[in-house]
Amino acid sequence: RKEVEQDPGPFNVPEGATVAFNCTYSNSASQSFFWYRQDCRKEPKLLMSVYSSGNEDGRFTAQLNRASQYISLLIRDSKLSDSATYLCVVKVGAAGNKLTFGGGTRVLVKP
Amino acid sequence: GAVVSQHPSWVICKSGTSVKIECRSLDFQATTMFWYRQFPKQSLMLMATSNEGSKATYEQGVEKDKFLINHASLTLSTLTVTSAHPEDSSFYICSASPDTYEQYFGPGTRLTVT
Three-class HEC string of chain B: CCCEEEECCEEEECCCCCEEEEEEECCCCCCEEEEEEECCCCCCEEEEEEECCCCCEECCCCCCCCEEEEEEECCEEEEEECCCCHHHCEEEEEEEECCCCCCEECCCEEEEEC
How many Å separate Cα B37 from the centre of its chain? 8
**In the predicted structure, residue A105 carries a pLDDT above the cut 70:** yes
Cα distances from A48 to residues A92, A107, B40, in angstroms, run 17, 17, 24
Chain A residues interacting with chain B (CB cutoff of 8 angstroms)? 8, 32, 41-45, 87, 96-104
**Cβ(B79)–Cβ(B94) below 8 Å:** yes
**In the predicted structure, residue A94 carries a pLDDT above the cut 70:** no
Phi and psi at residue A29, to the nearest 5°: -85, 0
pLDDT classification of B41: cutoffs 50, 70, 90: confident
Mutation test of the interface with chain A: which of B44, B46, B105, choosing the one with the most A Cβ atoms within 10 A? B44
**pLDDT of amino acid B99:** 79
**pLDDT of amino acid A89:** 94
Whether B44 contacts chain A with CB within 8 A: yes
Averaged pLDDT for residues B33-61: 91
Cα distances from B11 to residues A6, B6, B26, in angstroms, run 31, 12, 22
Cβ contact B99–A100 (<8 Å): no
Distance CA A65, CA B10 (A): 40
Q: Are strands A70-75 and A84-92 parallel, antiparallel or unpaired?
A: unpaired
Distance CA B68, CA B85 (A): 15
Higher pLDDT, B53 or B65: B65
CA distance A50 to chain B (A): 14
**Cβ(B112)–Cβ(B91) below 8 Å:** no
Cβ contact A96–B91 (<8 Å): no
**Cβ(B112)–Cβ(B12) below 8 Å:** yes
**In the predicted structure, residue A29 carries a pLDDT above the cut 90:** no
Distance CA B5, CA A64 (A): 33
**In the predicted structure, residue A21 carries a pLDDT above the cut 90:** yes
Listed range (A13-22, A49-58, A80-89, A92-101) with the worst mean pLDDT? A92-101
